[in-house]
Structures are given as C-alpha cells and as structure tokens.
C-alpha cells in the first residue's frame, strides 16, 4: 500500500497472485483487442460499403460497433501497461478522464441496445409502419440524443471527484479507473457522489433494461398470436443476436454494481472478473454473434473476404 498522506497518483491492479503469468495474460488481452477492433471494423466497413444494408437494423448495429470499438480502446493503455510493462501508476487527472470515457460509453451502449430493442419491437409488432416510423433523419436524431445523454450525465463526475483529497490506500481494484472504485479512496464526505452514482445506475441502466424487457414482453405477446409455427420461430430468430448482446452487457454490470454497493464480504476476485467481463467481452463477442446469426451480414462478409 502507499504511504500515508495525500495521494497524487492511483495504483492500478492487474490480477493479484498471477504476476508470474502476466506475459500470457497480456498476450490474451492483445488477442482480445485485435479480435474486437478487427471484428467491429469489419462490420462497420460492410455496412458502410453495401447500400442494401443501409436499413434501421444495420444502422443501429453500426452504432453498437462504434461504441464497442471506443469502449474496448478506453481501458487499453492502462491494461496493457500493467500486464506488459508492470506500469501501475496513473495520475488523478488521467484516471478521471479514463473513467469519464468508460462510464459515458457504457451508458451510450446501453442506449444503443434500447434503440435496437425498439427496432425489433416495431419490426415485429408494427411491421407495416416500420419504414415510416424508423426514418433516416429520425434515426440520426435518436442516436445523437442518446449519445448526448450518456456524455452529459457522466460529465459532472470528474469535477465532483476533483473536489476530494485522496488520503486512504490509493490502490484501485481494477486495471482501469471506475467511479465507484475511486470514491472509496477519498478521505472526504462522498455522499453526493454515492447518491449521484446510484441515481445514474437506476435511471440509465435500470430504466433502459426495464424498457428492453417490456419491449420483449410485447414482442412475445405478438409472436405467440401468430398461428404459423415457422413464422413464430423466424420472428424470434431475428431477436437472438440482440438478446445475446443485452445479456452480455447488463448481467456483469448489474452484478458489479450490486457488489460495489452491498457486497462488502464478496471475494475480490469476483468483482475483478465481472469488471473484466463487463468491459472486454461484449466488444469481443458482439461482432462474432451478429456475423454468425445475421444471414445478410454473414453472406456479405463471406462475399467480401472469400471472393
């Protein structure tokens, strides 16, 4: 632990007790980064260059790919710094900047998943009005609005954190900075940050996941009314990729949020594992799932790379 006094830096943590295999962990992370960046870039390239994919569902998918790209890059410098060079120190300002990007991009991804649920809801429950509801100008406005929501809600956090002095043990529990992790090291009254963080979790992650759940309740009600079993399965099959993305995104984040607030006696490794899964797995798996499950996208990728 650091010496007593006011901290000018934070110390990031890799995987405690696994220092002897840091090189292999760094190789794993490098592979994950390469697959994430290449996978999401390929999806963006295919959607941009193929006019037949300029439809609402694929425009939302490109928004997800852009967010996943940014979300995988935000923790990359500190993660690789720890495992490749054992560089654990991060200045307060750099830490606050990193947590701003990680949290705002997480909220933007939550919004994109909600928009994708809305797309599936309209496509299945109101197909005749699909083209008139999800017009290109409306898609742009929705994307911009939810992007601004993610940035504006997180914008106060670095300034709230800069007010504090950090005189407790300055060792963070992850290889990147998170708000709920940083405030534990403050020696000031953190009640405002605690309430604001809880408010953000409930209003963004809570409401987005609730609306996604309600969308699927309505979709299920509509699909169960369809008499043809084949049509029913076909409609549900269009939702599988999105459901995978939703589960990958929300499950570890909700678990991590619960542990940070209520799980004082939970194993530290569990929090660490959920943290890594929440940030690194969705950008890695989402392009793979969509490339495999979406027939149109799958066919275009094969046509481009295996002519």
**For position 248, what pLDDT does the model report?**
93
**For position 1, what pLDDT does the model report?**
38
Q: Which residues contact 305 (CB under 8 A, 6 or more apart)?
A: none
**For position 3, what pLDDT does the model report?**
41
**For position 149, what pLDDT does the model report?**
94
In whole angstroms, give the CA distance from residue 235 to residue 79: 40
Print burial letters for 282-306: b (CB count within 10 Å at least 16), e (below 16): bbbbbbebbbebbeebeebbeeeee
**For position 64, what pLDDT does the model report?**
95
Q: Which residues contact 286 (CB under 8 A, 6 or more apart)?
A: 39, 40, 64, 65, 68, 244, 245, 248
**For position 96, what pLDDT does the model report?**
94
In whole angstroms, give the CA distance from residue 62 to residue 178: 26
Q: Is 204 exposed, middle or buried (0-12, 13-18, 19+ CB in 10 A)?
A: buried
pTM: 0.90
Q: Extract the residue ranges of the chain whose pLDDT is less than 50.
A: 1-5
CATH number of 10-306: 1.20.1070.10
Q: Which residues contact 206 (CB under 8 A, 6 or more apart)?
A: none
**For position 2, what pLDDT does the model report?**
40
């Amino acid at each position: 632990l650091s010496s007593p006094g006011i901290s000018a830096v934070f110390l990031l943590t890799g995987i405690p007790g696994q220092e002897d295999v840091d090189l292999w962990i760094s190789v794993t992370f490098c592979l994950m980064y390469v697959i994430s960046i290449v996978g999401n870039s390929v999806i963006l390239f295919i959607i941009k260059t193929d006019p037949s994919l300029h439809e609402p569902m694929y425009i939302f998918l490109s928004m997800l790919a852009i967010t996943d790209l940014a979300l995988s890059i935000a923790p990359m410098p500190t993660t690789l710094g720890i495992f490749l060079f054992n560089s654990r120190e991060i200045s307060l300002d750099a830490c606050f900047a990193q947590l701003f990007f990680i949290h705002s991009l997480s909220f933007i991804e939550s919004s994109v998943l909600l928009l994708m649920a809305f797309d599936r809801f309209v496509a299945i429950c109101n197909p005749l009005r699909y083209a008139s509801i999800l017009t290109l100008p409306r898609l742009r406005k929705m994307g911009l609005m939810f992007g601004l929501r993610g940035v504006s809600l997180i914008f106060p956090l670095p300034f709230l954190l800069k007010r504090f002095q950090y005189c407790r043990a300055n060792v963070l529990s992850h290889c990147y900075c998170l708000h709920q992790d940083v405030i534990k090291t403050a020696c000031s009254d953190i009640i405002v940050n605690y309430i604001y963080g809880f408010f953000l979790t409930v209003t963004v992650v809570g409401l987005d996941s609730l609306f996604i759940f309600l969308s699927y309740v309505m979709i299920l009600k509509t699909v169960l009314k369809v008499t043809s079993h084949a049509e029913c399965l076909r409609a549900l099959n269009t939702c599988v990729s999105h459901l995978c993305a939703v589960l990958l995104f929300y499950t570890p984040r909700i678990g991590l949020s619960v542990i940070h607030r209520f799980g004082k006696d939970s194993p530290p490794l569990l929090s660490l594992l959920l943290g890594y899964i929440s940030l690194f797995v969705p950008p890695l798996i989402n392009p793979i799932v969509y490339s495999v499950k979406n027939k149109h996208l799958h066919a275009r990728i094969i046509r481009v790379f295996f002519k």
